[in-house]
Amino acid sequence: MMVDSGATTNQGPVVDMISEKDGDGGYVTGGWKSEDGKLSYGYSSFRGKRATMEDFYDIKTSKINGQMVCMFGIFDGHGGSHAAEYLKQHLFENLMKHPKFITDTKLAISETYPQTDVDFLDSERNTYRDDGSTASTAVLVGNHLYVANVGDSRTIISKAGEAIPLSEDHKPNRTDERKRIENAGGVVMWAGTWRVGGVLAMSRAFGDRMLKQFVVAEPEIQDKEIDEEFELLVLASDGLWDVVPNEQEQKKNPRKLPES
């Protein structure tokens, strides 16, 4: 998912640009632009070797108290698609219902994400499923950008021609994550890659009931003011970042929109 923006806080309504989908749901692509042309974004989703798609994305736009609000999310499911689909359906809806969504967006995100995880686990309590999902999200409120990450999907921005990561992958062998897991009584071991309990190759996620004591859904949040140097925002799952460096993806899209 890619977002281009000029430095603006007053975009008009968002209108559909393109929307394409193949017959079996394996490949989806589309995008939009605002009526004034100051904001555009697009998405692409491709199923790999799995028989079914486990990943979802969500895009929401709204005008709240006179401010344009845009939300973008990548949800990379594992062990099934239910957790990722639940996030698509509920995460941003829950966030917008938080009483401090506009006045203290960072607090709203930090409280909404773990609560949504609790809600998902509760909804699955009578099933035998135990799937999970990452979430890499970007929330634009006016000209203030909040990037929240849970798991090993990633968000980068291009600013003044430089690719800047706005999230750090939650991998079990990350020093602080390993310490947190071990302090909670868990173990990190090598099983083809570093895994929590020899099972999960990420240290934070929604769902994953059996590992919940160690695999939390607390987001790491970065916030940035959008200015005239901001060029591009890219959110993607590890399906991209495992094979494409940040800089290479940024250089594929070097264009800069006119300043507002």
Q: Are 46 and 99 in a shared domain?
A: yes
pLDDT band for 244, please (50, 70, 90 cuts): low
More confident residue, 222 or 67: 222
Examine the domain organization and report whether 144 and 190 are in the same domain: no
| Domain co-membership, 149 together with 178 | no
Q: Place 227 in a pLDDT band, splitting at 50, 70 and 90.
A: confident
- Shared domain for 194 and 81, answered yes or no, is no
Please check whether residues 126 and 142 belong to one and the same domain. Answer: yes
Task: Read off the pTM.
Answer: 0.82
Of 94-98, 223-227, 242-246, 249-253, the range with the highest mean pLDDT is 94-98
Residues 106 and 182 in one domain: no
How far the first Cα of the chain sits from its last, in Å, is: 23
Rounded-to-integer distance, Cα 223 and Cα 219, Å: 13
pLDDT tens-digit map of 88-103: 999 999 999 999 999 9
Average pLDDT over every residue of 56-81: 88
pLDDT (tens digit per residue) in 108-140: 999 999 999 999 999 999 988 899 999 999 999
Q: Residue 59 is part of which domain span?
A: 2-169+215-251
- 159 and 243 in contact (C-beta within 8 Å)? no
111, 191: one domain: no
Q: Are 145 and 188 part of one and the same domain?
A: no
Verify that 36 and 142 share a domain, yes or no.
Answer: yes
- Identify the bridge partners of residue 46 per DSSP, sorted by sequence position: 27
Name every residue whose Cβ is closer than 8 Å to that of residue 129 and which is 6 or more positions away in sequence.
79, 80, 82
**Average pLDDT across the chain, whole number:** 82
103-115 confidence digits (pLDDT tens): 999 999 999 999 9
Scanning the structure block, which residue is given the tokens 């999230």? 167
CB 234 within 8 Å of CB 164? no
Chain centroid to CA 197: 25
pLDDT of residue 20: 45
Mean pLDDT of 51-64: 82
Burial label, 69 (beta-carbon count in 10 A; 0-12, 13-18, 19+): buried
Together in a domain, 15 and 105: yes
Residues 111 and 90 placed together within one structural domain of the fold: yes
Query: Is 113 found in the same domain as 179?
Result: no
9 or 82: whose pLDDT is higher? 82
Residues 137, 71: contact at Cβ < 8 Å?
yes
Diameter over CA atoms, the chain:
54
259 part of a folded domain? no
Residue 74 is assigned to a structural domain of this protein = yes
Beta-sheet strand order (sheet of 14-21)? 14-21, 27-34, 39-46, 2-5, 230-236, 154-159, 162-165
Q: What is the CATH number of the domain that holds 119?
A: 3.60.40.10
Q: Which range is least confidently modeled, 17-21, 106-110, 186-190, 212-216?
A: 17-21
Instruction: Read off the pLDDT of each residue in 19-32 and give the average, rounded to a whole number.
Output: 61
What is the total count of domains within the chain? 2
Residue 258, domain member (yes or no): no
Instruction: Give the separation between CA 167 and CA 202, rounded to whole angstroms.
Output: 14
Q: Of 2-16, 35-49, 129-143, 183-197, where does mean pLDDT reach its minimum?
A: 2-16
